[in-house]
Homo-oligomer: A and B are copies of this chain.
Amino acid sequence: METFTVRSSARTDFRQINQEVSTAVKATGIKDGICVVFVPHTTARVTINENADPAAREDIESTLDRMVPWDGPYRHAEGNSAAHVKASMVGHAAVIPIDRGRLALGTWQGIYLCEFDGPRTRNVHVQVVSS
């Protein structure tokens, strides 16, 4: 298992990590299998979405923030319940086939670390299994 870190710069902040994940997969030498990108946090996650127009990423960030407002009838003492809710909506891992030594991502697919309670430094684990 490989681990790298990502630094976020706002409360809600999606950071593309395709390069870091691809490098970790290539280092294993595995040609055919599955890659798991796992975020070991409860207020940051990972998603796969549009990598071309930054406005698409910003629309996802702002729409999730409208759906789950930061201030609400929450009881959790840390005050970041909205981040926990968005974390469970978006998911803790990306699971991507490896085909002929490469991630089988679509042309427009970017892998994003999804920060929901930043800015912070986050860990990302990459684990690979072969077919």
Contacts and interface: CB of A to CB of B under 8 A. Distances in A.
Chain A, interface size: which category? 35 or more
A72 B63 contact: yes
A89 interface: yes
Contacts of A75: 55, 58-59
A90 B92 contact: no
A131 interface: yes
Nearest to A43: B50
Contacts of A10: none
A81 to B, nearest CB: 4
B127 A129 contact: no
Given A40-B106, A99-B127, A129-B131, 10 more contacts: A36-B95, A42-B108, A50-B84, A53-B76, A53-B78, A59-B84, A89-B89, A93-B95, A127-B131, A129-B130
25 contacts: A1-B104, A34-B36, A34-B129, A38-B95, A38-B104, A40-B109, A48-B92, A49-B88, A55-B77, A56-B78, A59-B74, A60-B85, A62-B73, A63-B74, A63-B81, A67-B67, A93-B94, A93-B95, A95-B95, A97-B127, A98-B127, A99-B125, A99-B127, A104-B127, A129-B129
